[in-house]
């Protein structure tokens, strides 16, 4: 983690610890520099990162303000590694159903830009939140990039391992969302009736160099699926 990323995390913690609310003003730059013992450029970079993440907004000539929605129980749709953090107060567990090396499906090979003859790690898990099923997950990892996975890793945070264990940098992702009626198998794993609503999220994860390494398909239990996104003006 770079210095400004570290400072960004500290400022975020400061906002939470002090229970700052939407619209509250942050201290001025000079105060932040003293408070977090960082240079002006580090603080500026940290604030830019927090703005991108939707944690603060900057009003020209007026200052930096807190963004913090008022709803409890919503999961950040875009944060992955920050997932557990966002879920403070929730208890998340994973049950691994399958983990093996195999050939990808045509769909997975297509989304990972790889050959159907090459190997993937296939992971099937059910994730639980507060002891209720949150989602059924099927993931395909390009084995030439994600060279090793085991049950222990897969039961915990795979992305933490990819980052810290394999030293790879996750760059960006393409997400695809759909809503449909769940099928019999999905219903079984999610503990719902067949035909219940399901939120389907497919994600292709890329390294910073653009290589796609993970194609994941998640089916969310609609009773547990409450997501939020803090979007910025550049999308509007």
Q: Provide the binding-site residues for a second copy, judged by CB under 8 A.
A: 22-23, 49, 52-54, 57, 59-60, 62, 65, 67, 69-71, 74, 76-82, 110, 159, 169-181, 196-199, 204-206, 208-210, 220, 222, 225-236
Q: How far is the CB of 90 from a second copy (least distance, A)?
A: 16
Min separation Cβ 101 and a second copy, Å: 25
Smallest separation, CB 100 to a second copy (Å): 26
Residues 6+ apart with CB under 8 A from 54: 67, 229, 230, 231, 232
- Cα separation of 47 and 11, whole Å? 9
Task: Please report how close the Cβ of residue 174 comes to a second copy at its closest, in angstroms.
Answer: 5
* Minimum CB distance to a second copy smaller for 113 or for 151: 113
- Residue 162, burial from CB neighbour count under 10 angstroms (0-12, 13-18, 19+): buried
- Comparing CB distances to a second copy, the nearer of 18 and 180 is 180
Written as six digits, the tokens of 50 are 């927090």
- Rounded Cα distance, 111 and 228, in Å: 26
Look at the block and give the residue holding tokens 């997950």. Answer: 137
Q: Toward a second copy, which CB reaches closer, 151 or 165?
A: 165
28: tokens are 């001025």
Q: How far is the CB of 92 from a second copy (least distance, A)?
A: 17
Task: Give min distance, CB of 163 to a second copy, in A.
Answer: 9
For residues 34 and 179, which CB has a smaller minimum distance to a second copy in the complex? Answer: 179
Give the total residue count for the chain. 236
What Cα–Cα distance (Å) separates residue 229 from each residue in 78, 124, 222?
7, 26, 17
Query: Nearer to a second copy by C-beta: 102 or 153?
Result: 153
74 vs 89: CA distance, rounded Å: 11
Distance CA 26, CA 47 (A): 10
Residue 138 near residue 164 (C-beta atoms within 8 A): no
> Which is nearer to a second copy, 102 or 160 (by Cβ)?
160
Q: Cβ 34 to a second copy, closest distance in Å?
A: 25
Of 128 and 225, which CB lies nearer to a second copy in the complex structure?
A: 225
């Amino acid at each position: 983690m770079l210095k400004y990323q570290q400072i960004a995390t500290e400022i975020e913690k400061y906002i939470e610890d002090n229970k700052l609310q939407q619209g509250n003003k942050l201290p001025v730059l000079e105060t932040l520099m003293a408070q977090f013992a960082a240079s002006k450029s580090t603080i500026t970079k940290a604030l830019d990162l927090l703005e991108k993440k939707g944690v603060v907004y900057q009003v020209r000539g007026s200052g930096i303000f807190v963004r913090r929605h008022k709803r409890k129980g919503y999961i950040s749709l875009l944060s992955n590694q920050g997932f557990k953090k966002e879920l403070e107060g929730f208890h998340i567990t994973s049950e691994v159903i399958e983990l093996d090396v195999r050939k990808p499906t045509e769909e997975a090979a297509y989304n990972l830009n790889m050959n159907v003859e090459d190997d993937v790690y296939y992971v099937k898990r059910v994730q639980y939140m507060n002891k209720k099923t949150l989602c059924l997950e099927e993931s395909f990892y390009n084995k030439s990039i994600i060279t090793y996975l085991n049950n222990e890793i897969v039961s915990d945070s795979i992305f933490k391992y990819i980052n810290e264990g394999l030293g790879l940098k996750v760059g960006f992702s393409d997400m695809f969302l759909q809503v449909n009626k769940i099928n019999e198998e999905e219903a079984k794993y999610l503990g719902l009736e067949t035909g219940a609503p399901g939120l389907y999220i497919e994600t292709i994860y890329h390294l910073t160099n653009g290589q796609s390494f993970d194609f994941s398909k998640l089916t969310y239990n609609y009773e547990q699926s409450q997501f939020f996104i803090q979007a910025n003006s550049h999308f509007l």
